[in-house]
A and B are shown apart, each in its own frame.
Chain A
Amino acid sequence: RKEVEQDPGPFNVPEGATVAFNCTYSNSASQSFFWYRQDCRKEPKLLMSVYSSGNEDGRFTAQLNRASQYISLLIRDSKLSDSATYLCVVNIGGNKLVFGAGTILRVKS
């Protein structure tokens, strides 16, 4: 079983739609959680951290469920520019991040 699992998608949505991605992790001792964004043939960049209480950054909301060991990312009012691969990332401690394989989002006009 992979340490971090994501639905690879692709998720094809129209502009203005709300879309949600989930990610599960296997290591219950994982310490912190993040979402990265990776545009096609580019490097990953940090999108947002995920806190136990949930957090929001504009149209993006991230949530953590430690009991069920999953993380979610909700994007409201999708824009064409949101098209990218979204990587779920888990800090398992000891200076090590584990990256999921990513979920592809395609927003179409």
Chain B
Amino acid sequence: NAGVTQTPKFQVLKTGQSMTLQCAQDMNHEYMSWYRQDPGMGLRLIHYSVGAGITDQGEVPNGYNVSRSTTEDFPLRLLSAAPSQTSVYFCASSYVGAQFEQFFGPGTRLTVL
């Protein structure tokens, strides 16, 4: 099993550009989520999904969109990148009811100039 995979590993954008961060898992987990991690702050939940076709907002959803058309994939879209979105983004998955054990992908390091 590959676990949780994320692409790309690194990305540099200019202000105003849009892009999609990809996330896939092969563990048949119902629950998937996106976090961002900034220095001096804990991981903050952006959006999450409890199954295909169901998404909900987390703590910091502004500027981001998600969709969940399959169990395996949970892409994160940045609509119009801003320097404040410079961060490390982690995708995670788990079984519903066992969200305490999140399996994280390796992360995407995003810089917005």
A binding-site residues for B, Cβ under 8 Å: 2, 4, 8, 32, 34, 42-46, 49, 87, 89, 91, 95-102
- A96 cross-chain contacts in B, Cβ below 8 A: 45, 48, 58
| CA distance in complex: A92, B64 (Å) | 23
B50 an interface residue at 8 Å Cβ cutoff? yes
CB within 8 Å for A102 and B104 given contacts A44-B90, A95-B50: no
Taking the closest CB of chain A, its distance from the CB of B82, in whole angstroms, is: 22
Looking at the assembled complex, report how far the CB atom of B44 sits from the nearest CB atom of chain A, in whole angstroms.
8
How distant is B46 from chain A, measured CB to nearest CB, in Å? Answer: 12
* Bound-state Cα–Cα, A34 to B106, Å: 20
Known contacts A95-B31, A96-B58; A34/B100 CB under 8 A:
yes
With beta carbons under 8 angstroms apart, the residue of A34, A45, A99 that contacts B43 is A99
Residues of B within 8 A of A44 (CB): 43, 90, 102, 104
Q: How many residues of B contact A (CB 8 A)?
A: 21
Query: If A34-B100, A43-B106, A49-B100 touch, does A102 touch B48 (CB 8 Å cutoff)?
Result: no
The contact sample of 10 A-B pairs, CB cut-off 8 A, is A42-B106, A43-B107, A46-B102, A87-B43, A95-B48, A96-B48, A96-B58, A97-B100, A99-B42, A101-B42
Is A87 a contact of B42 with CB atoms below 8 Å? yes
Complex contact B40–A8 (CB within 8 A)? yes
Q: CA separation between A42 and B40, bound complex, in Å?
A: 16
- Give the chain B neighbours of A89 by CB distance below 8 A: 100
Interchain CA distance A45-B42 in the complex, whole Å = 14
Of chain A, the residue at the smallest CB distance from B88 is A41
A43–B104 touching, CB < 8 Å = yes
Min CB gap A101→B, angstroms:
5
